[in-house]
Structure 1
Amino acid sequence: MDLNIAEIFHESGELQYRYSRYLSNDGSKWVRHGLFTAFHRNGELASEGTYIDGLEDGNWRDFHENGLVAAEGSYVKGVETGTWRYWNADGAEA
């Protein structure tokens, strides 16, 4: 499997997504595989996690624009599992 790094930008030019991917066997689509990161327009990290063969897998974290954690939890084959935790932008648990 040959991985390719994709970078997609906001219309204003800032990086929005960075992730690794591979081309499906039939060549019809790109499949996310590996580390995925998303960014807010202000450059702060918005989300990070891992894809395995196109599905979220493992620990994921989402962040508010101020850099504080917004959500944290796990996926198994694209399905949320276990307990997810959520926080307000001021850091208080929601």
Structure 2
Amino acid sequence: MAELNIAEIPYETGELKFRYSRYLSRDGSRWLRHGLFRAYYPSGELQSDGNYVDGHEHGTWRDFHKNGQLAAEGQYEHGVESGEWKYWREDGSSE
């Protein structure tokens, strides 16, 4: 596998929006996400996290409300949602 690089993508205001690891495809035409991915709200709170494998979501993914409460959790298998996903309201109650 190629060398992993860390990408940090900011909002226009400068706050961190995305942070993830990636590598350059063999032909050098595009970056492929690989490893931990995190997205943040402009206020800095975690919005979502999960993992990529060779450019595809894979494994457990979680989304969070702005107050930090878990909003959704489920699995990906090579970029496709799999199994049952669970969802919660901002107060923590299930949908």
TM range (shorter): over 0.9
Q: Identity rate of aligned residues, in percent? A: 62
Match of 2:70 in 1: 69
Match of 1:31 in 2: 32
> Aligned Cα RMSD in Å?
0.6
Corresponding pairs, count:
94
Q: Where does 1:1-94 land on structure 2 (aligned, <5 Å)?
A: 1-94=2-95
d(CA) in 2 for partners of 1:58, 1:89 = 24
TM-score, normalising length from structure 2?
0.96
Return the offset for 1:11. Answer: 1.0
Runs of 4+ deviating beyond 4 Å: none
Unpaired segments of 5 or more residues in structure 2? none
TM-score, normalising length from structure 1?
0.97
Letter in 2 for 1:60: W
SS of residue paired to 1:11: coil
Return the offset for 1:39. Answer: 0.3
Return the offset for 1:6. Answer: 0.1
Return the offset for 1:54. Answer: 0.3
Cα-to-partner distance string for 1:74-93 (whole Å, 9 max, x where unaligned): 00000111110001112111
Return the offset for 1:12. Answer: 1.2
Unpaired segments of 5 or more residues in structure 1? none
Cα-to-partner distance string for 1:56-82 (whole Å, 9 max, x where unaligned): 000000001111000000000001111
